Amino acid sequence: MYRIDVHVHPVLVSEILEKYPGLLEKVREIFYIGTAPQPIEVIFKQMEIANIDKVVLLPIDCTTRFGVELPPVDAVMKLVEKYPERLLGFTSIDPMRADAIEALKEQVKRYEVKGIKLNPALQGFNPLDKRVLDFLRKCAELELPVLVHTGHVWMKRDSLEHVNPLVWDKIATLVSDLKIVLAHMGFPWLWETFTVLTRHENVYADISNVYTGSPREHLSYILTEALPKRIVERFLYNKIVFGSDYPRIEINKMAEALGSLDIDAQVKDRIFGLNVGKLIRL
């Protein structure tokens, strides 16, 4: 079994930033993060400490709204090609782009794309827009899972209107063969996430980010308190996947926090890796 982190943002990887002057300024402004740039070896070291075998790198295409990719998909994919034993690459294409479907087909042709990263709040789109639904149907046709931001957003410029997990209940009905990962367990809409997960075979959720304190405090809250432990162990054991949200949170700290939880060991194994195998072709 591979242990996999499905939610790593390569926005501050030095090897990428060095090739794109001005990108760091955009990352600070749009992604709103103050952490110092770090070489890819920092990710590898955190993976080693956490006993994580592979991480999924998630770019975000913000060209329509902000005129920039965070970071460029091509740079991410080249990094994945350099370290295929440790890195998996998702692409990100703004689904409101006129050429979105053609761009997706080109990315799949050019690289070993494992999935798609979308963020309706940051990219500024309605997931139920016909153009977005057509794009999602193409993702399903290409057997590419979509990892989508759901839940809280801190920046007031970004709307909460389209990030409630219930939006994806309708999409999962309209595009039933699309594999969907609801990022951040849709926090604070945890019961809404539970409802969508239990209604649809192809919908999953990741546990990335820490909204309620330290990694241990947050994971304990969402997986044993707000959602009772028995609910997670009985009904969501095959629906949750591990994610850190690096560089906002260290990979090893999130892994340690999950490992420390008072939940069944077999459920932890599923979250760390077994469930990912149903999502991503390894």
Q: Tens digit of pLDDT for each residue in 160-194?
A: 999 999 999 999 999 999 999 999 999 999 999 99
**CATH class held by domain 4-278:** alpha beta
pLDDT at 280: 93
pLDDT of residue 155 exceeding 90, the answer is no
C-beta of residue 254 within 8 angstroms of C-beta of residue 240 = no
**pLDDT level of residue 200 (50, 70, 90 thresholds):** very high
**Residue 38 gets which letter from DSSP?**
B
Give mean pLDDT, residues 221-237: 98
Nearest to 144 by CA among 1, 280, 48: 280
Other C-beta atoms within 10 Å of 247: how many?
Answer: 22
Buried b (16+ CB within 10 A) or exposed e, 81-103: eeeeebbbbbbbbbbbbeebbeb
What's the one-letter identity of residue 209?
Answer: N
4: which 2 tokens? Answer: 């996999």
**pLDDT level of residue 135 (50, 70, 90 thresholds):** very high
pTM of the complete model beyond 0.95: yes
pLDDT at 145: 98
What's the one-letter identity of residue 106?
Answer: E
pLDDT at 279: 93
Give mean pLDDT, residues 47-66: 97
pLDDT at 274: 96
Which residue bears the tokens 């990719």?
Answer: 69
Give mean pLDDT, residues 242-268: 97
- State the average pLDDT for the chain: 97
Which residue bears the tokens 């993702």?
Answer: 139
Per the document, the length of the chain is: 282
For the chain, percent of residues with pLDDT exceeding 70? 100
Nearest to 139 by CA among 171, 98, 166: 171
pLDDT at 281: 85
pLDDT of residue 282 exceeding 90, the answer is no
For the chain, percent of residues with pLDDT exceeding 90? 97
